[in-house]
Structure formats: C-alpha cells, structure tokens
Chain A
C-alpha cells in the first residue's frame, strides 16, 4: 500500500534528479571527441594540473570556512541576546532575519552598490566617522576582494544559524541553570556545561546545512563579482558554471561538479544519518 503514496514522489525524483546526476557522472568520465564510447579519468587528472581549479578550490575552502565560522559566532551571540527578556523581541528577530530572506541576487547587488568606492554608502560612512582616510576598493583590490565577499556572506547567512540556535536555546530548561548556579558554577561554566551541550544537536544541524549552502552559494557571487577580479573570488560553483556555459567543456565541468558533490555528501553524512535514525 505504501508504494502508491511514496512511489510517485520517488519516481519523479529519480527522473528529474537522479537521471541528470548520473548523466553528469558519466560525462565526467567520457573521453572527449572519441569515436566510440570510451571512458577515462583524464578529466579528474586534469583537475589536479589546472592551477585555476586549485585556486578556485582554495578560494571555496576559505570562503566556506570563514563564512560558516562567522555565522556560528554571530548567530549564537544574536540568538543568546534574543533569548533574554527583551521588549519588542519579535521585531528584533524580524530585523535580524531580513538579510537572509531576500534573493541571493538582490543581496549581492545591494552590496555591490554599498561597496562602490566613490558613490557607495560604506566608504562615505567610514570616511565620515574617520575610520579610513581614502576610499577603499572593496571589490577590486586583489587583497581584499574575497574578504569583502565573505563579509557580505556573513550578513546574509548568520540569521539562519541564529534561528536554529534560538529554537535550541528555548528548549533548554531554565531550572538546569538554576541548579547549576546553586551548585556554585560560574557563568562561564554554565555556558560550557549547560548551554553548549543543550545545543549540540542544533549545532550539528546548523553546521551541516550551512556548510552545504555555502559550498553551493552562487547568485551572491555571480551578482557581485562574477568571480573577479581575475579569479580571486571564483568559487567552485561559479567556476563550474563558466566551464559549462562559457567554455562549453561539459566533461571537465562535470568532473568539478562531481568532486563538489562528493564533498557535500561526505559533509552532510552525519546529518543525514542522525535524521534518518530518528525516524
């Protein structure tokens, strides 16, 4: 009986998602311009020799690590503040959520304009309060570009972590803190021994989903820099897109995408395992 309900969804998923995924996998091992169908690992070997890929991979690692770490820190801080007795708590939560709800492209474009060295608001603001003396080239200075993009991604991504950790904080019973305080635990000890263990599951969920999303992040970077200057803000998703649709190297692009997929599945394995065990 269950087949009637589950099968349409499963079939549809296999058709629209499984089939293209397998196709991509087979592209990635297909020999280019071969007469007969023959298979090769040359595309994967080519990745290792491609300095652009190596650089892009490195950029992605920096982008994801710094983004996720900063999301976690700011997200936890905001969640803890919003978990206190505050007036207008819902309003603050809504305001903190705004950067996250607009489409990626919109977020990227707003910041591209904020960052504009001459006409943008950010430099004007920093000049006025005296933090900088000359306009900063946020997105075209090679040393700064990737970090400027990460700074935008902090703005964009922390609300999601905040939401999840807030839900987790609200589930920690208050009397645990009271009991700890009676036993003479310091505030720091309460934080380390009650708050953090209480949030463990939420932290796993937030970490897994955030890493997956940041690895896949596309629209934000495409709208802001398109990977430039040079390839300094190029990440795996924008690089794969370019290989496909600007250089039409389908086999090579597929190989990059497969590498990305493997990384993503490995990262999300603990999360997938945890959820399916609970079911």
Chain B
C-alpha cells in the first residue's frame, strides 16, 4: 500500500527524507548503543573522562555479575511467574467476556463496554493505596499472589478488548452450525471458539505479560523484600544506591528489557489493534 507516497515524494526531496531517516535512527538507537557499550566496560572505564564510546577492553563481567553478585535470578523468576500468571488469568476471563460482548446483544451492553473502557483510564495511584491496606490486612502484602491480583486491574480490561476483537473475526455461522448439532453455548466456547482463536489468545497472553513486566508503580508499592521483588523494581532500587555501578546497571537494564524487545518484534503486526482496544483495526 503506497497510498500517499507520490504526494510525499513531491513534498520533500529524496535527500531530505534520507537525512531525516538517518537522524531518526540515530536518535532512536544511540541511547541503546550507549547502554550496550557501558555494559561491556569495566567500572573504571565507565568513569573515564572523556567517556570512551567503544569499550577499550570489552568484558562480560557485569553480565555475570548481575546473576552472581546481585539477585537478578530471583527478580527474573518473580517477574516471569507474576507476569505469566496475570496474563493467563486475564486472557481466560477476557476471552469469556469477549465472547459475551461479541455474540450477545443484550440491554446494557454498551454501558458495560463503556465501563470496561473507562476502567482502562484509571490511574494506578488511585488504586495502590487501598491495595496496600487490603493486602496487608489479608496477609498478601509482599507476596507474588498479591501482585498478580493487582496486575489484573491493568490486564483484564485490555485482554477483554483484544479477545473480543479476535472473536469478532470468527464467523457466527460456526456457532450456529455447532448449535444445530446440539452443542451448548459453553461447549461452543470451549470446543469451537477457543481452538480457532488460539493464536489470538497467545498474542493476548504475551501482551498482558509485557504490561505486567514493564510495571514499576505496583511492584514498588506492594512488595518490599528481596525474594519478592521484580526485575523493574530491582533495577530501580539499584539507582537509589549510594554508589551506582553503571556497567552492572546497564547490563541489568539490557537483560531486563530484552524480553520486551523480543516479544514486541514478534507482535508488531498486532500491536496497534491490541493497544487501542480495537479502535484501530490493524
């Protein structure tokens, strides 16, 4: 699809376009290159004046250090378990609700859709205070379970939207023919719809995973002890330390950001639809 291409080519000369593109790539990539470069330096080299752009003697010391000297293994485990559990739970409930919104046109449907959308707009800081108090009272403060419950608030509305979008694409005739064969509604959902939208479910799980993975606010407010904290909180805490060991921090940030980068590359195509609640069919 080269819709407006001829227009742009006339609007800007080709050289201007390329200069813009190169500047753009530099702007986007330079900070990452700096992160990579620093992560391969020794601590002494990171504090050289003027800074070296390419490490003089590249070392993997920091990459080993985050696992051996810091508790990165624990953080990684926590983040993975918490994000995955949140994503699977919210995708399941999201698929159920998505099917309901997709196939039934009941009274108050629009209102409920508006409700799901509005919940996506609430700021996290509105909820963290009550969560802190409630979870403390029922003994779930500073636990993975507590954080999983809290993350449902971010993931569930979004999973519902995304799953509804995928289910909308499945023709209603499939439901109908199954019904003629005597299949119940629940049977249709579990035996016909879920298998068909399985790729969509995987995508929804991965997006939910990333939403939870990238969070800092909730982890900061609802966990505190070293064995319970997530990657993002682990990284954020390092910044607060008296003496920041930058190569180590950069290695940690790179490793902590990697799952997100890799998953987004795979999910590129579905990104727009997923994040705009189906407002934009990607």
Give per-residue flags for B29-51: 1 if the beta carbon is below 8 A from chain A beta carbons, else 0.
11110110010000000111111
Q: How far is the CA of A205 from the CA of B276 in the complex (A)?
A: 7
Chain B contacts of A93 at CB under 8 A? Answer: 268
**For the side of the interface on A, what is the size category?**
35 or more
Chain B contacts of A20 at CB under 8 A? Answer: 126-127, 130-131, 134, 153
Which residues of A in the span 173-205 have a Cβ within 8 Å of any Cβ on B? 173-174, 177-178, 181, 187, 190-191, 195, 201-202, 205
Give per-residue flags for B250-282: 1 if the beta carbon is below 8 A from chain A beta carbons, else 0.
100100110011001100100110011111101
Q: How far is the CA of A219 from the CA of B5 in the complex (A)?
A: 38
Contact of A83 (CB < 8 Å), options: B8, B24, B99, B112: B8
Q: How far is the CA of A211 from the CA of B177 in the complex (A)?
A: 45
Which residues of B in the span 127-155 have a Cβ within 8 Å of any Cβ on A? 127-134, 149-150, 152-153
Given A9-B96, A241-B128, A260-B126, CB of A2 within 8 Å of CB of B104: yes
Contact of B34 (CB < 8 Å), options: A6, A27, A104, A113: A113
Which residues of B in the span 191-240 have a Cβ within 8 Å of any Cβ on A? 213-217, 220-221, 231-232, 235-236, 239
Given A83-B3, A124-B51, A167-B280, CB of A10 within 8 Å of CB of B112: yes
Given A12-B152, A219-B236, CB of A241 within 8 Å of CB of B24: no
Residue of A nearest to B111 (CB): A276
Q: How far is the CA of A91 from the CA of B215 in the complex (A)?
A: 27
Report the minimum CB–CB distance from B157 to chain A (whole Å): 7
Contact of A103 (CB < 8 Å), options: B48, B114, B216, B246: B216
Q: Does B74 contact A (CB under 8 A)?
A: no
Which residues of B in the span 3-18 have a Cβ within 8 Å of any Cβ on A? 3-11, 17
Report the minimum CB–CB distance from A94 to chain B (whole Å): 7
Chain B contacts of A146 at CB under 8 A? Answer: none
**For the side of the interface on B, what is the size category?**
35 or more
A195–B4 contact, CB under 8 A?
yes
Residue of B nearest to A267 (CB): B121
Report the minimum CB–CB distance from A204 to chain B (whole Å): 9
Which residues of B in the span 94-142 have a Cβ within 8 Å of any Cβ on A? 94, 96-97, 99-101, 103-104, 106, 109-110, 112-119, 121-134
Contact of B114 (CB < 8 Å), options: A113, A202, A272: A272
Which residues of A in the span 108-136 have a Cβ within 8 Å of any Cβ on B? 109-114, 118-121, 124, 127
B280–A6 contact, CB under 8 A?
no
Q: Does B160 contact A (CB under 8 A)?
A: yes
Report the minimum CB–CB distance from A100 to chain B (whole Å): 8
Q: Does A215 contact B (CB under 8 A)?
A: yes
Given A5-B189, A83-B5, CB of A17 within 8 Å of CB of B117: no
Report the minimum CB–CB distance from A26 to chain B (whole Å): 9
Q: How far is the CA of A171 from the CA of B280 in the complex (A)?
A: 11
- Could you say which of B122, B152, B235, B239 has the most chain A C-beta atoms within 10 Å of its C-beta? B122
Q: How far is the CA of A277 from the CA of B110 in the complex (A)?
A: 8
Q: How far is the CA of A94 from the CA of B21 in the complex (A)?
A: 13
Report the minimum CB–CB distance from A76 to chain B (whole Å): 12
A190–B7 contact, CB under 8 A?
yes
A-B contact pairs, 17 of them (CB 8 A): A2-B100, A8-B97, A10-B115, A27-B129, A84-B17, A96-B28, A102-B214, A102-B257, A109-B235, A124-B51, A164-B276, A177-B3, A190-B7, A212-B121, A215-B123, A244-B128, A245-B220
Contact surface of A with B, Cβ cutoff 8 Å: 1-2, 4-6, 8-10, 12-13, 16-21, 23-24, 27, 77-78, 80-81, 83-86, 92-99, 101-106, 109-114, 118-121, 124, 127, 155, 160, 163-164, 167-174, 177-178, 181, 187, 190-191, 195, 201-202, 205, 209, 212, 215-216, 218-219, 222-223, 236-237, 240-241, 244-245, 250, 253-254, 256-258, 260-261, 264-265, 268, 271-277, 279
